[in-house]
Amino acid sequence: MSVVERIRREPVLVVALVQALLVAGVAFGLDLTDAQAAAVLGVTGAGLALVARSRVTPVRGTSGAHESN
């Protein structure tokens, strides 16, 4: 499976991996400011959230859900 296929198939996993690598990198001396780290997390989170949203189907009328008439 290619990297692009993996990102499309598991976008939430990729976001978690980016976050973990960023934290580990900073802990081991990667020289990023707080703003730069936040920007990386924000861009990857938002971009991959769009991919994740395109992969799920909304559920309508499940039991216990509030339905307005």
How far, in Å, CA of 36 to CA of 52, rounded? Answer: 24
The domains of the chain are located at: 3-55
For residue 49, the tally of other CB atoms under 10 A from its CB is 13
Q: How high is the pLDDT of residue 28?
A: 93
Percent of the chain with pLDDT over 90: 7
Residue in this structure with the two tokens 């991959």, named with its chain if needed: 48
Q: Identify the residue with better confidence: 20 or 56.
A: 20
For residue 17, the tally of other CB atoms under 10 A from its CB is 13
**Interval 32-55: pLDDT, tens:** 888 998 898 888 888 888 877 877
**Interval 10-30: pLDDT, tens:** 877 888 888 899 889 888 998
Residue in this structure with the two tokens 């769009």, named with its chain if needed: 50
Q: Are 19 and 40 in contact (CB under 8 A)?
A: no
